[in-house]
């Protein structure tokens, strides 16, 4: 397998020329995340139909020309489960990838296993067996071995071929628009999470009285500043459960804070005065807004109804060759049933509007489920010995 390592400006220029002439590029990254504030980018892998490049970002002054090509609408960018790739691009440019094609999601929209590993996709679609020898390697160490470089190159070698197969199948089934809609929504959701403060996502925070939320926010903001300064995971600075516990106690007394179990380590004891100041500010601040602020508590549908509608959704997915996991979860079905039970009182622009009534999901599962919910259509056992033993029928047929 031929590939070119890009570690100087001349090699970068050659790669940019190849990317600029290509109708599509495969894109992957190698990074280390477990001991950093944000993932440490260690390699970029780029493929065209004719070339493979392995970019060493540690050896280049800037990567802006690469990000510019990836955010251009002039070519497809092919990824597999590209969450981190999307975020690397967004953090560098403030833009998402307009012509993104994720082979994992494409396979799910065609009824294949979702989520499927890259190795499974290669084997099932192209009959290629992927190597697994470097899955736990430390990509920060230099020099990289030949085996590491070959492993990294393989991650993008077949992306153009996967794109050709999957895009053709999606076009035949009229689902290319589904994929575009799905990827636009997922990129927007990732950007939203990246840009917003994350204190309200701490486990247990929703059970706290509103007056204690200010404490959580102040402690979370302090933790983020400290983690960024030291380039370490935020939870190593102060665990989530300790933030919630300090908020529950609601005291800024340093002596009482110091006796909270989990804060005895000398490394955190020296920050007790700062934690005390955070709690004081939190107690004095206005109650912060949360995603659930002002929401009316939605009625939970009867468990049996939710289970039945979830089974119906699974039937609709499998009979139409789409992975159920890509369409929605049982909780999505519960939100849909709650919406119908309370009489459709939400506007589509509302965050609580059911996801199963948005975009392609509405025609595919939302509307058919509503007919079942109203009793107009029913599921019945048609052939107990068949892999798909159920069928959907009009109630008048029963």
Instruction: Tell whether 33 and 142 lie within a shared domain.
Output: yes
Instruction: Tell whether 117 and 185 lie within a shared domain.
Output: yes
Q: What is the DSSP pairing of strand 52-55 with strand 4-6?
A: parallel
Residue 293 lies in a domain: no
Residue 294 lies in a domain: no
Q: CA angle at residue 112 from 111 to 117, to 5 degrees? A: 150
- How many residues comprise the chain? 398
Is there a contact between 306 and 334 (Cβ–Cβ < 8 Å)?
yes
Residue 295 lies in a domain: no
**Which residue from 181, 182, 166, 160 is spatially nearest to 78, judged by alpha carbons?**
160
Q: Of 195, 216, 238, which residue constitutes the final position of a domain?
A: 195
H and E: helices and strands count for the chain: 19, 8
Each of the 398 residues of the chain gets a pLDDT tens digit; together they read 799 999 999 999 999 999 999 999 999 999 999 999 999 999 999 999 999 999 999 999 999 999 999 999 999 999 999 999 999 999 999 999 999 999 999 999 999 999 999 999 999 999 998 776 666 788 999 999 999 999 999 999 999 999 999 999 999 999 999 999 999 999 999 999 999 999 999 999 999 999 999 999 999 999 999 999 999 999 999 999 999 999 999 999 999 999 999 998 888 999 999 999 999 999 999 988 887 765 656 678 999 999 999 999 999 999 999 999 999 999 999 999 999 998 877 777 777 899 999 999 999 999 999 999 999 999 899 889 888 888 888 887 65
**Which residue from 298, 217, 283 is spatially nearest to 250, judged by alpha carbons?**
283
Instruction: Tell whether 260 and 123 lie within a shared domain.
Output: no
**pTM of the predicted model, to two decimals?**
0.90
The CA distance from 20 to 150, in Å, is 24
The CA distance from 214 to 288, in Å, is 6
Q: How many CB atoms lie within 10 A of CB 234?
A: 17
Cβ-based neighbours of 20, under 8 Å, separated by 6 or more: 69
Distant-in-sequence contacts of 218-223, Cβ < 8 A, 24+ apart: 218/278, 218/279, 218/281, 218/282, 218/285, 219/243, 219/246, 219/247, 219/275, 219/278, 219/279, 219/282, 221/197, 221/278, 222/274, 222/275, 222/278
Instruction: Tell whether 249 and 147 lie within a shared domain.
Output: no
Instruction: Tell whether 251 and 311 lie within a shared domain.
Output: no
Sign of CA dihedral 27, 33, 38, 42: negative
Q: Of 179, 195, 211, which residue constitutes the final position of a domain?
A: 195
Q: Of 145, 162, 195, which residue constitutes the final position of a domain?
A: 195
Is there a contact between 360 and 177 (Cβ–Cβ < 8 Å)?
yes
Residue 289 lies in a domain: no
Instruction: Tell whether 149 and 274 lie within a shared domain.
Output: no
CATH code for position 235: 1.10.150.80
The CA distance from 295 to 273, in Å, is 36
Rounded to 5 degrees, what are φ and ψ at 79? -135, 170
Instruction: Tell whether 21 and 162 lie within a shared domain.
Output: yes
Instruction: Tell whether 252 and 324 lie within a shared domain.
Output: no
Cβ-based neighbours of 94, under 8 Å, separated by 6 or more: none
**Which residue from 238, 314, 322, 250 is spatially nearest to 279, judged by alpha carbons?**
250
Instruction: Tell whether 46 and 188 lie within a shared domain.
Output: yes
Instruction: Tell whether 310 and 364 lie within a shared domain.
Output: yes
Its domain, for residue 262, covers: 199-284
Residue 291 lies in a domain: no
How many domains is the chain built from? 3
Residue 66 lies in a domain: yes
Instruction: Tell whether 168 and 273 lie within a shared domain.
Output: no
Instruction: Tell whether 392 and 356 lie within a shared domain.
Output: yes
């Amino acid at each position: 397998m031929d590939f070119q390592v890009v570690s100087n400006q001349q090699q970068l220029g050659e790669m940019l020329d190849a990317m600029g002439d290509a109708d599509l590029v495969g894109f992957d990254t190698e990074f280390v995340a477990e001991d950093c504030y944000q993932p440490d980018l260690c390699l970029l892998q780029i493929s065209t139909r004719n070339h493979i490049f392995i970019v060493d970002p540690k050896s280049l002054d800037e990567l802006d020309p690469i990000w510019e090509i990836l955010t251009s609408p002039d070519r497809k960018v092919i990824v597999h489960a590209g969450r981190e790739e999307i975020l690397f691009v967004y953090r560098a440019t403030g833009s998402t990838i307009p012509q993104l094609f994720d082979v994992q999601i494409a396979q799910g929209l065609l009824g294949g296993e979702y989520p499927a590993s890259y190795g499974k996709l290669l084997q099932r679609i192209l009959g290629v067996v992927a190597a697994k020898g470097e899955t736990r390697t430390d990509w920060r160490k230099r020099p990289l071995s030949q085996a590491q470089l070959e492993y990294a190159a393989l991650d993008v070698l077949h992306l153009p071929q996967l794109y050709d197969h999957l895009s053709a199948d999606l076009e035949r089934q009229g689902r290319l628009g589904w994929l575009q809609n799905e990827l636009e929504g997922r990129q927007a959701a990732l950007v939203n999470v990246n840009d917003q403060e994350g204190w309200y996502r701490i486990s247990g925070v929703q059970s706290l009285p509103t007056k204690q939320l200010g404490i959580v926010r102040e402690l979370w903001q302090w933790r983020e500043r400290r983690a960024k300064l030291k380039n370490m995971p935020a939870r190593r600075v102060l665990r989530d459960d300790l933030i919630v516990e300090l908020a529950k106690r609601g005291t800024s007394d340093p002596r009482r804070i110091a006796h909270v179990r989990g804060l005895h380590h000398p490394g955190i004891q020296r920050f007790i005065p700062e934690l005390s100041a955070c709690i004081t500010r939190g107690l004095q601040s206005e109650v912060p807004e949360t995603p659930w602020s002002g929401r009316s508590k939605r009625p939970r549908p009867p468990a049996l109804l939710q289970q039945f509608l979830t089974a119906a959704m699974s039937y609709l997915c499998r009979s139409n060759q789409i992975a159920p996991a890509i369409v929605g979860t049982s909780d999505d079905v519960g939100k849909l049933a709650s919406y119908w039970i309370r009489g459709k009182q939400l506007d589509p622009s509302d965050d609580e509007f059911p996801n199963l009534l948005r975009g392609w999901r509405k025609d595919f599962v939302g509307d058919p489920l509503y007919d079942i919910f109203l009793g107009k259509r029913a599921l019945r056992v048609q052939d107990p010995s068949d892999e798909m033993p159920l069928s959907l029928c009009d109630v008048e047929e029963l």
